Chain A
Amino acid sequence: KQEVTQIPAALSVPEGENLVLNCSFTDSAIYNLQWFRQDPGKGLTSLLLIQSSQREQTSGRLNASLDKSSGRSTLYIAASQPGDSATYLCAVQAGTALIFGKGTTLSVSS
């Protein structure tokens, strides 16, 4: 059974820092991996989608990598801003559904 783990569960950084969020999954047979952002009381906003044949994706200050063989992905956020404060969820797809981790709650202080 596929399991997704995100470390750390929570992270607090001062504005301007670069940071890395980690995601690991137990079964490497995946179609893709997605990173989402969730603001309190809100739905999910897709940040980056990495297909299983890809190694990384970039969007603005965000860079996500995928190492299928080791079952790991990282989300790198450059020059963090207070507006980046949210919960970041990692999800893998191996069949119909997305399998989510519990998320990392990020707080960026000004």
Chain B
Amino acid sequence: GAGVSQTPSNKVTEKGKYVELRCDPISGHTALYWYRQSLGQGPEFLIYFQGTGAADDSGLPNDRFFAVRPEGSVSTLKIQRTERGDSAVYLCASNIGGGDNEQFFGPGTRLTVL
């Protein structure tokens, strides 16, 4: 498959636990984005990577959220001390070079915090 992939598709955790969500972008796409979609809402931007560096992390809600992309390909979104309000679908997107190029989305990871 040539599209954006995300794992796991579903994650259930308990309040206070640590979780990692993974995104594999389309091969060759240098830009990678994370969004969060709560029930009944549109996706909201979290963070943008250009290559290995986080070029814009203005959407991260607080310091419990962190993301890395060490080799400029796969990215991991990390959430510490999860709270019930973190329950949402976490979407990843990628494109060539960032800017105003079309973003291609993965299927998302549904996170449920009990």
Contacts and interface: CB of A to CB of B under 8 A. Distances in A.
Interface of A: 4, 31-32, 34, 36, 41-46, 49, 51, 89, 91, 93, 95-103
Given A32-B100, A96-B48, A96-B56, A43 B107 contact: yes
B106 interface: yes
Contact of B98 (A42, A44, A96): A96
A20 B72 CA distance: 41
Contact of B59 (A32, A45, A51, A97): A97
Contacts of B14: none
Interface residues of B, number: 27
B41 A98 contact: no
B42 A97 contact: no
B48 A97 contact: yes
A90 to B, nearest CB: 8
A92 to B, nearest CB: 11
A102 B42 contact: yes
B55 interface: yes
A12 B10 CA distance: 30
Interface in B28-64: 33, 35, 40-45, 48, 55-56, 59
A44 B91 contact: yes
Given A96-B55, A97-B56, A91 B42 contact: yes
Nearest to B34: A97
Nearest to B3: A43
B42 A4 contact: yes
Nearest to B59: A97
Interface string B51-93: 0000110010000000000000000000000000000000101
Query: What are the 8 closest A-B residue pairs judged by CB atoms, nearest first?
Result: A100-B42, A97-B45, A31-B100, A43-B107, A44-B105, A96-B56, A96-B48, A43-B105
B108 interface: yes
